Structure 1
Amino acid sequence: MRTATVCFLVVVLRANGWAEVDEIPLTKLNLTLPALSRVRAATDAGDADRAAAELLSYFRQRTAPQWYFAADQPPPPKPGAADAAAEKVLRREYAFVGKPATLTHDLDWNANPLNDVEWPIELNRHYTWVALGRGYWNTGNERYAADFVYQLRDWVNDNPRPTSPRGGRYTWRTLECGIRLSGSWPETFYRFVNSPSFTPEVLSTMLGSMWEQADYLAKFPSGGGNWLVAESAGLVTFSILFPEFTDSAQWQKLAFDRLSQEMDRQVLPDGAQVELTPHYHSATLGSFLAATRIAQLNGVPLPGNFGAGLERMFAYLAYVAKPDGYIPMFNDSDHDDAYARLRGEPLVTRPDLRWVLTGGKEGAAPGFASLAFPWAGQYVMRSGWDRDALYLAMDAGPYGLGHQHEDKLQVDVHAYGRSHILDPGRFTYAGRWRGHFVSTAAHSTLLVDGTGQNRRRTPSSTWVTDHPLPNRWLTNDDFDFAAGSYADGYGKNDDVLHVRKVFFARPDYWIVTDLLLGRDGYTGEHEAAVQYQFGAPGATADEKPHLVCSHNEDANLAVLPLAARPLEVDLHEGEDNPPAGWIGWSLHRALKEPATMAVFRQKGAVPTQLDCLLFPYRGADLPPVRLEALPEHGTKGSALRISTAEWTDYYYCAHSEGGAARFGDFETDADLTWVRTDAAGKVVKAVSEGGSYLRRGGAQVAGSGQLSPSPVTKDGEGRTVEFDSAKPGKAVLDYGYADGGGYLFRVEQDAQPGHNTVSLPDLLPELRYVYRLRVVADGRTQVVQRGRLRLPPPRKFDFEDGTTQGWEGAVEVDKLGANGSAGALHLASDPATEAQYVSATLAARFTVRRELAISFVYRAPLAAGGDWCYTKLTLQDRDGMDWSAYFARAPIRDWQKVALTLADFRGDTRDHPEQQGKPLPVGTHISRISFTQRKGVTTQPVAAELWVDDVRLAVE
């Protein structure tokens, strides 16, 4: 144990066998407070020992501020009693993230005996001290107090406060400081403060370290997410519990200001937290609540936005949860019970939430079953609110601020009291298993040629939305429908799009349609593999018709696939190399279990299509059910018949721009149609969306039967559609990809008489779209306009708006650009003597023509000692091959203009020597552009540094 100075009191505290604590500033305590008059008198008299004793006496006697129990009211002592959890701590027997290990008595606080970073992180949250404190509280066993004192002193002396942020490895991460100050340290303070072992010297050590941690949090906040909320909750807690410090008032204001700001920044209007991870939503909610509870307990006013923000967070967690109360394990989540988490929370008072959480014993029933979280992009379909209800959650949202998985468009299915299809969870943050559980290959979505999604390489500015997503969502008493798409590429391939549509025939089954489309007319051949991760082992597959069924005693799920091409079905369960077929139930218990992964594969030219009937049922025996393709079925539209002994359903969903379609003996102009007939063939239910008629044998079945006048056709470029309306009403604009998939997105707004403009969010550059505009007025819906849209990609970059304009990497915008302009792209690494690279990348799709021309201005003024570098512009094609033009091999201090043409680019792929130096072929499909600088080895630390401005791409 080495010694360190804790800056707290200007008293010399003799450590009674410990290292001596030096004199330190008394200014940290407000000794003008009347309650500290005895401490001040002793200090003024120069009696250090008495000052320390008076301070301890003060803290033992004070009754406010309050913690959650009174420090002077423990249970009666139990002589000779022992506490099992505390005894393990005495023996240094620890189990973190489900992994047990025994450490030496003299602890190494950075010990990582199992090579898992979460292990020393958990060690330094000091919940083991809470175990000692509760053991002491319940028994009065002084050994627990003595060991706490030993560990406290050991930790403080071994881990001095870092002088800069991100110092101290595991011991001084700001997240751990916040967790300690809002939980483990205050609790242990109140548990032990009246112990004989808790001497004036211990008080000095503990209060001094808490002050240092609070000061560290005040000075070095993290950038956001759950970390910043946890840090601020710790700072709030310390400042409320210890108002005797002169900094406490300003720290309290600072922390509440941060929390108020983060409540607005992190809690989306639909209630989801921006990491889009139900587990970290709950963790962040816990930090907000920690600050709320300690403030309310002590009569401290809360920021005005706390009430509404907390209510939104409560509602999200309650409504995204499955019928059994557990969350879907989206992103880095565990199998957590949300209902148990919320049920006992006194701040959850809204009647609908009380009803859901208590199974109808309190409150009032919600007026809905299914709902969308449009900012999170999560869509929940339910048959009801009972524990046996059918439930499906689809994740069609953004990547999220942190803790992300490559799992867009996955589904999670629960029915009749059991989870059947699951997100596999997080399991671990260490080793190869981490790579598996975050990968597309672990999730119930689609792989292309064995490769997964690439959202991690997209601009971080797109990872959280600032508007509700336009994904098409329909819900009514008879059905739910959700659509989503993924367009960020698979592996090195950017030429395909994945579209998923989910239809819920309430309360019986789901139809999931997966389309793999080519971009801009691309028709290359690929293998498309649709995966379903079951929740238990033992599922089996029939060779024909490739039916996959789970095998449980209580409830099961059948997946019936339908494809026009030959289909292969593989089942994987508990495989290690490569990993496949696992559910990671818990990180903290290190619990993963084998479970069947069903994979449906088909090969061929895009577009490809797979329709799957997800049919849940009670008991072990699958009732007779059949899925058939009607003659009109294909990539232009799913036309299906689903039949049982009691009923036959007809389903049609258009995957093109629409128009008249036939399926069976029905015809419609709708995008979506569902008909149920009884055993005698009589129509008992018929619903349609996006059309004017549904007929059977020429007779009207549903819809108004009134055809719209021929709509105006209007094509354009940009993010808006303009139209004229004769009457006031509601404008409904549906749009989708011109390459297929049908109308996947929807925006709605009021229509005014005369000229109107509708904005279309989330259009992707270079993709072509189709749209249909309807106006609802006087109870009648009319299609008034159709057309095609294209958003031209940016080809000029001047950075004068203060943003990187889509360029990603170690980049920022310098306020001073070339020739005095208002901005330039600045790339920089940290100074170092070894070779350093710095790069900025732009997603830009185009086909190389002979007229290729790229121009820009740049400067690369390396610091003294940096005599050599190279700087290049690289075009990366869709196969991952690099084609580079080297335009500088020495530092350049003044702005220089560069104009590159096709002849300047040569093969530059490191692991493909056969390509290096070869000319860039006309017709190559480019997906990315990068500026890169490499500075050489230097005798002094030098940063790689590059400024770029006025970039012009002539690549059409």
Structure 2
Amino acid sequence: MKTGILLTALLVATAFLNPVFAGDTPKVYEILNLDFPGFEKVKQHVENKDYTKAQEALLDYYRQRTSIKHPDVNREDKQKMKGKRLDESTLEKANNGLKHHFFVHKGYGYFDFGDTINWQYWPVKDNEIRWQLNRMYWWIPMGEAYWSTGDEKYAKEWVWQMRDWIKDNPRGLSKENDRFAWRPLETARRVQDQTNLFNYFIDSPNFTADFLVEFLVNYYVHAECIRQNYSERGNHLLFEAQRLIYAGGFFPEFINAGTWRKEGIDILNTEIEKQVYADGMQYELSLNYHIAAINIFLKALYMAQLCNMEDEFPKSYSACIENMIIAIANASFPDYTYPMFSDAKRVSDGSMQKNYQSWLKVFPDNEVIRYFATKGKNGNAPGHLSKGLTNSGIYTFRNGWKKDATVLILKASPPAFWHSQPDNGTFELWVKGRNFMPDAGCYVYSGDDEIMKLRNWYRQTKVHQTLTLNNENINVDAHQIRWSVSPDLDELKYSNPSYDNLDHERNVFFVDQSFFVLVDKAIGKGTGQVDLHYQLIEGNANVNAKAKSIATTFDDGNNVIIRCFGPKTMELIEEEGKVSYSYRKEIERPAVAFRQPKPDGKTVKFITVICPFDGQKAPEIKAAFITSKDNKEQVELVVNGKKHLLDI
């Protein structure tokens, strides 16, 4: 027995667990249920204190084990992958991983961590680099490459890297290293991924009996670490619970496997009620995390099915997931993308279609999910157009489900937290296949002062489609006043307490299912500079300071004009505009503010008309506030010669 290597693994465990190991003899068998079916030989050798033979019997058991099914990777799939051509990205990650050029984050690509691997290397002071290094994104590609090629170099290197990580990253090495290597989210990611890796490599001659013991000790340490350090709330807690279910389901031989499964299921049953609004939206209000939550809940359900524990989830659990799927369908554009509110990033229609296809397997009778899974070839589109998710404050105005539709999706939400931005009132506008007014995005997550400066630029209220006072960030806690839908006019009215001394009230009208009118009011005692901000897609734009308008100038004739009407002293100001569709990538774009001084407590009011048009000549637009005969405030506007009256 390689006692030195084993002792290293055991020290990792004893560093922060109640002692399950004692003395110089490994007591790994104390964390395994030796009465588990198939462990008879292992138990016999342990009772005889012949630990070498016990290890060999343990390895033989796992290589012969066929009763445990994995949601994604099963050993019987190995033959199907033999000789299969891997995509270039997967093979690149695997082969670079052999050289210790690790893919740690798609925003940065590869970094060289040295011949001996410096697991604490931090080339750019972005926290995500350290965190995601400890997710080992290149390990599963190495497993796939091993199955595809049969080349033992992948298995040999993975075993070496696994042992090296265990040796160099004991919990308690330092406060900083614990923060990155042992954050519960990363620990849980490894708990999930190592079930895949176990299946990829268990049959390799490099996966020795000694290494199996190290692997199991390390795995047990990971699962118990999650239990001792659950995140307080949010998607992190969901990930941790789901992956603990994976641990208990894939390794039922551990003495605490039943506890892991039960705790994970109990957490998810509790959190699905806490974290999902009645309208189906996850409460962080960042739509990529909403989709992550759907997949977390479903992965847990699937693993529970494989463990014959599906009944531990009530029927309301799957009903809630189904409602979440319909919610994201309502909050998406015809190409399956969705607004980059908060920390969301642009997604591809292919990745979203795969999600719908996966979801359809769970909900085969849902014709709306079928519609999106088949890109409209089968199933049915939702039976409505515009839709308000009124609990979460995500409102969609639309005139169709096809790519030639006009769709505006707006956020006027209750408070959220970390991933949420101070952006109530912001929206994205899609017209005939083009997203004309994308949200700013997030660019980067967290790190040192320089990184946070980059992040905070994108979090500013003033880089969103909404109203500010003195360009300061707003509070988020919108309250719906009115939401109505009809063939000729859809309307939203809400109020947001943007500042302690100023409320922002906004009406949004979708007129004749063709153009939009926004009425914005700055109400309260607050004084200073009121700005109404708008940003367009990257590209050229025609800014007309005199007419108080900005219009796109696309050669294909699919264009939009934004024209604002306000006090006579209102100015149009060109602002810095940027959009980030993916991590650490940004593009300049046109941005303007309509600016009006507010010297006293009088309300400042704006009318904005956002009108799609064909060609290069924008429509004639006029708008003004009027008072009706019954003393109601209205907006009177004329667009292309047609007059409209809107009650505010």
2:275 is aligned to 266
CA distance in 1, matches of 2:118, 2:12: 28
3-state SS of the aligned residue for 2:436?
strand
Shift in Å at residue 470 of structure 1?
A: 4.0
- 2:627 counterpart of 1:629: no
Q: How far apart in 1 are the matches of 2:65 and 2:539? A: 58
2:460 to 439, 460, 470: 439
CA drift of 1:84 comes to 3.0
Are the counterparts in 2 of residues 560 and 627 from structure 1 also a CA contact under 8 Å? no
Residue pair 1:177, 1:234 contacting (<8 A) in 2 also: no
1:3/1:157 contact within 8 Å kept: no
C-alpha offsets along residues 676-729 of structure 1, whole Å, 9 cap, x if unaligned? Answer: xxxxxxxxxxxxxxxxxxxxxxxxxxxxxxxxxxxxxxxxxxxxxxxxxxxxxx
Which residue does the alignment assign to 1:386?
Answer: 402
State whether structure 2 residue 36 is matched by structure 1 residue 33: yes
CA displacement, residues 753-801 of structure 1 (integer Å, 9 cap, x when unaligned): xxxxxxxxxxxxxxxxxxxxxxxxxxxxxxxxxxxxxxxxxxxxxxxxx
Q: For each residue in 1:795-854, what CA deviation from the matched residue of structure 2 results, as whole angstroms up to 9, or x when unmatched?
A: xxxxxxxxxxxxxxxxxxxxxxxxxxxxxxxxxxxxxxxxxxxxxxxxxxxxxxxxxxxx
How far off is 1:110 after superposition? Answer: 2.9
Are 2:643 and 1:639 equivalent residues in the alignment? no
Aligned with residue 612 of structure 2, among 604, 616, 619: 616
Give the aligned partner of residue 510 of structure 2.
504
Q: Superposition pairs for residues 830-869 of structure 1, below 5 Å?
A: none
Q: Secondary structure at the match of 1:352?
A: helix
Matches within 5 A, 1:813-828: none
Does structure 2 conserve the Cα–Cα contact (< 8 Å) formed by 1:112 and 1:119? yes
Whole-Å separation in 2 of the counterparts to 1:364 and 1:509: 26
Aligned to 2:546: 544
1:340 is the counterpart of 2:344: no
Partners in 2 of 1:534 and 1:280 — Cα distance? 25
- 1:409, distance to aligned residue in structure 2 (A): 1.2
Q: Which has the higher contact order (CA 8 A, sep 6+)?
A: 2
Letter of the aligned partner of 2:474 in structure 1?
Answer: Q
Is 1:119–2:135 an aligned residue pair?
A: no
Q: Are residue 326 (structure 1) and residue 337 (structure 2) matched?
A: yes
Structure-2 residue corresponding to 1:197? 206
Q: CA deviation at 1:306?
A: 2.1
By how many angstroms is 1:543 displaced?
3.0
> Which of the two has higher C-alpha Rg?
1
1:649 deviation in Å?
A: 2.7
Distance 1:603 1:80 in 2: 64
- Corresponding residue for residue 93 of structure 2: 85
Report matched runs for 1:217-236 at 5 Å. Answer: 217-236=226-245
Question: What corresponds to 1:597 in structure 2?
Answer: 591
Where does the alignment leave 5 or more consecutive residues of structure 1 unmatched?
Answer: 11-19, 456-462, 573-579, 655-956
Q: Deviations over 1:647-687 (max 9, x none)?
A: 50312323xxxxxxxxxxxxxxxxxxxxxxxxxxxxxxxxx
Task: Give, in angstroms, the shift of residue 571 of structure 1.
Answer: 2.6
User: Counterparts of 2:545 and 2:37 in 1: how far apart (Å)?
Assistant: 84
Equivalent residue, structure 1, for 2:485: 475
Partner of 2:16: none
Residue 265 of structure 2: SS of its match in structure 1? Answer: helix
Say whether the 8 Å CA contact 2:567–2:596 is kept in structure 1: no
Q: CA offsets per residue over residues 180-236 of structure 1, 9 Å max, x none?
A: 222x21111111111111111221111211111111112221111101110001100
Return the offset for 1:630: 6.5
CA distance in 2, matches of 1:328, 1:132: 34
Alpha carbons of 1:330 and 1:582: their partners in 2 closer, same or farther (altered >3 Å)? same
CA shift at 1:73, angstroms?
4.5
What is the TM-score normalised by the length of structure 1? 0.61
State the match for 2:18 in structure 1: none
Percent of residue pairs identical: 27
Q: Is the 8 A contact 1:359 1:386 kept in 2?
A: no
Deviation at residue 45 of structure 1 after TM alignment: 2.4
- Mark the CA change 1:215 to 1:162 in structure 2 (over 3 Å): closer, same or farther: farther
* Matches of 2:467 and 2:147, distance apart in 1: 54
Please tell me whether the aligned partners of residues 28 and 217 of structure 2 are also in contact (alpha carbons under 8 angstroms).
no
Amino acid at match of 1:621: Q
Query: Structure 2: which 5+ residue stretches go unaligned?
Result: 14-22
Distance 1:156 1:200 in 2: 17
Residues 4, 157 of structure 1: 8 Å contact kept: no
More helix by share: 2
Once the two structures are superposed, the pairs formed by residues 49-64 of structure 1 within 5 Å of their partners are 49-64=52-67
Q: Does 1:406 align with 2:419?
A: no
Give yes or no for contact 2:36–2:253 (8 Å, CA) kept in 1: yes
Following superposition, the deviation at residue 139 of structure 1 comes to 0.8
Distance in 2, matches of 1:616 and 1:79, equals: 48
With 164-173 and 250-259 compared, the bigger mean Cα shift is at: 164-173
CA distance in 2, matches of 1:249, 1:323: 44
Residues 27/164 of structure 1: CA separation in 2 closer, same or farther (3 Å cut)? farther
Paired with 1:134 and 1:319, the residues of 2 have a C-alpha distance of 36
Amino acid at match of 2:356: R
Whose strand fraction is larger, Structure 1's or Structure 2's? 1
Deviations 1:114-136 (A, max 9, x none): 11100111111122111111111
- Per-residue deviation at 1:623? 4.4
Distance in 1, matches of 2:102 and 2:174, equals: 30
1:142 to 152, 159, 168: 152
Give the match's secondary structure for 2:586: strand
Sort the Cα spacing of 1:472 and 1:41 in 2 relative to 1 into closer, same or farther, 3 A. same
In structure 1, give the amino acid aligned to 2:593.
V
Q: Would the aligned equivalents of 2:410 and 2:425 in 1 still touch at CA under 8 Å?
A: yes
Tell me if structure 1 keeps the 8 A contact 2:69–2:250.
yes
Structure 1 residues 292 and 79: alpha-carbon distance in aligned structure 2, compared to 1, 3 A threshold = closer
Residue 49 of structure 2: aligned partner: 46
Does the CA contact (< 8 Å) of 2:6 and 2:210 recur in 1?
A: no
Structure 1 residue 280: Cα displacement: 1.1
Root-mean-square deviation (CA, aligned residues, Å) is: 2.8
| 1:137-174, Cα deviation, whole Å (9 max, x unpaired) | 11111111111011100111122235999981211111
Aligned partners of 2:33 and 2:253 also within 8 Å: yes
- Kept in 1: contact 2:301–2:313 (CA 8 A): no
Question: Counterpart of 2:565?
Answer: 562
Counterpart-to-counterpart distance in 2, 1:4 and 1:170: 24
Query: What residue in structure 2 maps to residue 69 of structure 1?
Result: 73
How many residues align? The count is: 612
Seen in structure 2, the aligned counterparts of structure 1 residues 175 and 322 have a Cα distance that, compared at 3 Å, is same
Instruction: Output one character per residue of 1:517-574: Cα deviation in whole Å (capped at 9) or x when no partner.
Output: 12xxx3x6532111112122322212331220112234221101111322222233xx
Distance 1:247 1:612, change over 3 A: same
SS at match of 2:38: helix
- Superposed CA deviations along residues 600-624 of structure 1, whole A, max 9, x for unmatched, are 1122443111111101124x42343
Q: What one-letter code is carried by the residue in structure 2 that aligns with 1:343?
A: Y
